[in-house]
Amino acid sequence: MSDTQNRLRKQLESPNFESQNYVKQLSQQSDGDRDLQEHRQKIQNLADETAQNLKKNVYKNYRQFIETAKEISYLESEMYQLSHILTEQKSIMESITQTLLSTDKDETAKEMLTAFPKETEEVKQRTLTTLLEKVEGCKNIMETPGRYLVYNGDLIEYDVDNMSQIQRVHAFLMNDCLLIATWLANRRGAVKYKYNALYDLESFAVVNVKDNPPMKDMFKILMFPDSRIFQAENSKIKKEWLEILEETKKKNVVKDRHKKEEEVPNSPVRPEVSTNPFDVEEPLDSEEAVDLSPEWIQELPEDLDVCIAQRDFEGAVDLLDKLNEYLKDQSVTPRVKELRGKVEERVRQLIDVLVFELSPDRSLRGGPKATRRAVSQLIRLGQSTKACELFLKNRAAAVQTAIRQLRIEGATLLYIHKLCNIFFTSLLETAKEFEMDFKGNTGCYSAFVVWSRSAMKMFVDAFSGQVFDSKESLSTASECVKVAKEHCTQLSEIGLDLTFILQSLLVKDIKAALISYKDIIIEATKHRNSEEMWRKMNLMTPEALTKLKEEMRGCGIGSFEQYTGDDCWVNLSYTVVAFTKQMMGFLEEGLKLYFPELHMVFLESLREVILEATQHVDYSLRCEQDAEKKAFIMQNAIFLHEIVLPVVEKRFEEGVGKPAKQLHDLKKNLRPMRVNPDSTMSVV
């Protein structure tokens, strides 16, 4: 058989295999439908075997696939950082070379600016005004004094994700900002463009995009956490844009630096005397006491922008800690306030990026450890409450996604095993990661307890929908609840006991299941009672009798053998035997589902079921006139009272640990009846 399979496999794997010729040849060689069916089965077996091998290979290499994807992601990030660094170095080298070669030109330009300062400024502003008259919705651009046009041109904007063309734009680069305007489809007079966005030069970084035909001549502008990609008309214009943008940004930085250094305090003016007794005077020479001249402080805002762009969150927070340490004991001066204002803007950008990293919209793969980097940096920034909230929201979305992706197939118990394994493993990993990340923030632990309850509610909804809403048998439901309890106790190893929450969330469904199954037993008992003929039970074969003895012994009825006779006869009614088996099964399954909130419901259900059987026996004794049948009915009544009821009461007390007062009272009230065979009346 294996040789035939190997030959068939080689034939199908052959590069010259043609399905039409193969089927034609097979039809000619076959004797009839049976041969075709056998051959079809061989091909199906081969297909199943191939599918199984493919599945094994996928499982075998699954971890390698994940590790490879992570390595590719890390490599992409490193290449992005390297490209940004090389671009910056290139622009710095070019600016140095240009500065050295154009010293004479700069001196000449300075002389021209000195000779005609007003004319040059007016020309620049006039040019900007003329161009902005063509842009709709930007009248307030000229309100900033000293603003003039540096460069402008047409560009095409592309989508960052799929690199599809979005729109044509016209960019206006000014000495302190960049204006993006879109083309108007329906022009009105001189107006050609419509205002789209305005960015300060300090708020974005320019990155070159490597040519990848047909995508070429592109550059990216990073406005954290967003970005936009533009395409120039050709490589020459792209180079001009990159060079002029970098040069303008540097000039703006130098201008701001000189402006700060040249700030001279105004002539001393006699301060007004405040009448507020709570005002605290600041020392007049406080500004001189704070040295903000170090290069790392001057370049701090730009360094923070670079760290955020390169996703170097740790480096950005380290810079902030260094600045806070430097200014810790320093007095607050206007220059310090200005510096802190710029830094706080970057801090808000950094927090927004970290918040986006923890948002459920991001990929949820990687488990709780994937959030550790963003959470730790938010805690260092003093945002532990927000970090806790976002971490728990991220994990809730991950757990919910995992539950939704779980396929409902096969037996219910198998599904519950998978569901419990996924949920409680995720909960355990989340708890361990939470304890590691928020070790010094004990105030966040209450939030985790609240989150655990909501997560348990999500689990119980999925659990109940599959177990109780689908009307599974009580035995299946009890096994499923048992599995959930066992998994829940595993959390105690980290000091988290959610058993009470699980029970409180399941109590309603379990109560309904117990009552429903009680009603089923009562209806079945009524149906059997309606057909009761009060005859001894004949099992026909010794094997059947042996099996019944084992079932009764398993139910706890050890003295059942005294009611069996020779030749496979049982000295009990079929109705009483069936009721006993069903009753003991209900008791055992109910004990698996038991917890204190269900005590009275379960006990009352047992009482009602027992009453249904005993009342029928009492009714039969009162109505039956045949003395022999009365004696047989009395024997069944004694079996229920002396054998079944004590076993039920004892087993209930063992399983629950509490006395069953209702069952004891019921047994006391249902004393066996003394029957006079010659009378039609029963006497209690």
DSSP string, 282-325: PPTTHHHH----SHHHHTHHHHHHHHHHTT-HHHHHHHHHHHHH
Q: Which range, of 95-109, 529-543, 621-635, averages the lowest pLDDT?
A: 95-109
What residues pair up with 223 in beta bridges, in sequence order? 226
- ∠ CA 358-422-390, rounded to 5°: 15
Query: Tell me: the pLDDT tens digits for 448-472?
Result: 888 888 888 888 888 888 888 777 7
- Tally DSSP H helices, then E strands, for the chain: 23, 12
Provide the angle, in degrees to the nearest 10, between the axes of the packed helices 334-358 and 384-405: 10
For residues 586 and 521, the answer to whether their CB atoms sit within 8 Å is yes
SS3 call for 273: coil
Percent of the chain at pLDDT exceeding 90: 2
What is the distance of C-alpha 378 from the center of its chain? Answer: 20
Asked if the model's pLDDT at residue 672 lies above 80, the reply is: no
Question: Taking 70 as the threshold, does the pLDDT of residue 283 lie above it?
Answer: no
156: β partners = 168, 231
Tokens of 617: 């026996």
Q: What is the pLDDT of residue 213?
A: 75
Query: What distances in angstroms separate CA 307 from CA 25, 57, 220, 312, 321, one per listed residue?
Result: 70, 41, 17, 5, 14
DSSP state of 362: S
Residue 268 has pLDDT above 70, yes or no: no
Please classify residue 44 by burial: count the beta carbons closer than 10 Å to its beta carbon, then call 0-12 exposed, 13-18 middle and 19+ buried: exposed
Q: Which of 252, 248, 270 is nearest to 260 (CA)?
A: 252
Q: Which amino acid is at 111?
A: E
Residue indicated by tokens 């709780």: 368
Strands 226-231 and 536-538: unpaired
Contact 147, 128 (CB under 8 A): yes
Q: Does the pTM exceed 0.75? A: no
Cβ atoms of residues 633 and 621 within 8 Å: yes
- Average pLDDT over the chain reads 78
Q: Which residue has the tokens 């829940």?
A: 488
pLDDT interval class at 63 (50, 70, 90): low
User: Given this model, what pLDDT does residue 671 score?
Assistant: 57
CA separation for the pair 98, 88 (Å, rounded): 15
Question: Is residue 219 within 8 Å of 159, Cβ to Cβ?
Answer: no
- Report yes or no: 517 and 549 within 8 Å, Cβ to Cβ: no
Q: How far is CA 599 from CA 253, 292, 514, 659, in A?
A: 77, 74, 11, 11
pLDDT grade for 155, boundaries at 50, 70 and 90? very high
How confident is the model over 220-250, as pLDDT tens digits?
888 767 888 999 988 889 889 999 988 898 8
- Quickly state the pLDDT bin for 272 (edges 50, 70, 90): very low
Instruction: Please answer whether residues 222 and 205 qualify as being in contact, where contact means their C-beta atoms are separated by less than 8 angstroms.
Output: yes
Contact of 387 with 443, CB cutoff 8 Å: no
**Residues 6 or more apart from 335 whose CB is under 8 A from it?**
260, 263, 287, 290, 292
Of the pLDDT bands very low, low, confident and very high (cuts 50, 70, 90), residue 263 is: low
Average pLDDT over every residue of 302-323: 85
- What's the pLDDT band for 353 if we cut at 50, 70, 90? confident
**Is residue 275 helix, strand or coil?**
coil
SS3 181: strand
pLDDT tens column, 560-618: 777 777 678 888 888 888 888 888 888 888 888 888 888 888 888 888 888 888 888 88
Question: What is the tens place of the pLDDT at every residue in 324-337?
Answer: 888 877 777 788 88
Q: Which helix (H) or strand (E) holds 154?
A: strand 149-158
Which pLDDT belongs to residue 676? Answer: 42
Please give the Cα distance from 495 to 63 (Å, whole number). Answer: 32
- The yes-or-no verdict on residue 625 having pLDDT over 60 is yes
Crossing angle, helix 574-593 and helix 499-530, to 10 degrees?
170
Least trusted range by pLDDT, from 152-166, 277-291, 382-396: 277-291
Between CA 155 and CA 292 the distance in angstroms is 40
Report which residue type is found at 286: S
N- to C-terminal Cα distance for the chain?
76
Of 457, 470, 331, give the one whose Cα is nearest residue 412: 470
